[in-house]
Amino acid sequence: MSAHSHIDGQLPHEPEKATLEGRNKVLGFWLFLGGETVLFGTLFAAFLALRDQVGEGNPTANELFQLPIVAIATFILLTSSLTSVFAIQALHRNHVKPMIVWLIVTVALGAGFLGLEIYEFYHYVHEGHGFTTSAFSSSFYTLVGFHGAHVAFGVAWISILIAQTLRKGLNLVTAPKLYVAGLYWHFIDVVWVFIFTVVYLMGKVG
């Protein structure tokens, strides 16, 4: 019934769903991601409505974006999704060490992605593409920046969870937290795939 019955014994196969608290957390988090989908959907809609409003004399999407660096960022983030899958697999096998290692790799990749994004933004501002330049620029920074803020939050969150797991071990309380953090990480990856397509690729093409 509560989180206590299993704590010292063997962890069940899917420890994140072994307690009612865990099941609630997982379901609640899926629903939260549903809400997040609407959030990003609205941001995408605003971006699509405003992306052509570049304004007189400002750099266009085509002039600004350099696909190689964005491709690298994409590659890094997608890889981090894979490593987070490895971490969750390790969790299901109750292998704490490899799980921690994979989580650290995930966090490191996330931080790398953020570094690239900061560099990219810095570069754009230098090119005359500031937050207040045009409707295009405001909606661009808001959409991509919201995503970046999500990555940053995820990096901080997973780091805290790593520290917790090191102290408390893997149990019926920590397992659901780690599991939903994994869901979160996949979600921001998927959002990035859309950003890559809608913002960058479409920006290059038309």
Partner 1 sequence: MAHAHAVKRYSGLMDWLTTVDHKKIGILYLIAGGFFFLIGGLEAILIRIQLWQPLNDFISETTYNELLTMHGTTMIFLAAMPILFALMNAIVPLQIGARDVAFPFLNALGFWTFFFGGLLLNISWFVGSVPDAGWTSYLPLASPTYSDGHGVDFYVIGLQIAGIGTLIGGINFLVTIINMRAPGMSFMRMPMFTWAIFITSALILFAFPALTVGLAALMFDRLFAANFFEVGNGGNAVLWEHIFWIFGHPEVYILILPAFGVISEVISTFSRKRLFGYSSMVFATVLIGFLGFMVWAHHMFTTGLGPVANALFSIATMLIAVPTGIKIFNWLFTMWGGSIRFTAANLFGIGFIPTFVMGGVTGVMLAAAPADYQYHDSYFVVAHFHYVIVGGLVLGIFAGLHYWWPKMFGRMLNEGLGKLTFWTFYIGFHLTFFVQHFLGLLGMPRRIYTYQDNLGFNNMNLISTIGAILMGVGTIIFLVNIVVTAMRPKDAPNDPWEDGRTLEWTISSPAPEYNFAQTPLVRGYDAYWKEKMDGNSGMTPAEPIGPIHMPSPSILPLFMSIGLFIAGFGFMFSNYIIGAVGLLVTFGCMFLRSIIDDHGFHIEPEELEDKGVKA
Query: Residues 154-183: x/- map of binding to partner 1 (CB under 8 A)?
Result: ---x--xx-xx---x----x---x------
- What b/e readout covers 108-132, taking b as 16+ CB neighbours within 10 angstroms? ebbbbbbebbeebbeebeeeebeee
Question: Does the footprint of partner 1 cover residue 28 (CB under 8 A)?
Answer: yes
Question: Does the footprint of partner 1 cover residue 9 (CB under 8 A)?
Answer: no
Alpha carbon distance 169, 195 (integer Å): 36
Question: Does the footprint of partner 1 cover residue 57 (CB under 8 A)?
Answer: no
Tokens matching residue 44:
């995408």
Cα–Cα nearest to 170, from 82, 92, 84: 92
Give the DSSP letter string of 123-138.
Answer: HHHHTT--TTS-HHHH
Helix (H, G, I), strand (E, B) or coil at 100: helix
Question: Does the footprint of partner 1 cover residue 34 (CB under 8 A)?
Answer: yes
Residue with tokens 């995930």: 106
Alpha carbon distance 109, 198 (integer Å): 23
Which of 84, 106, 134, 165 contacts partner 1 by CB under 8 A?
134
Site for partner 1 in 58-117 (CB under 8 A): none
Closest approach of Cβ 82 to partner 1, in Å? 25
> Judged by CB, which is closer to partner 1: 8, or 68?
8
Q: Under a CB-based contact definition with an 8 Å cutoff, are residues 14 and 21 in contact?
A: no
Which of 6, 14, 23, 79 contacts partner 1 by CB under 8 A?
23
> Judged by CB, which is closer to partner 1: 46, or 69?
46
Interface residues with partner 1 (CB under 8 A)? 1-4, 7, 20, 23-24, 27-28, 31-32, 34-36, 38-39, 42-43, 45-46, 49-50, 53-55, 131-139, 142, 157, 160-161, 163-164, 168, 173, 177
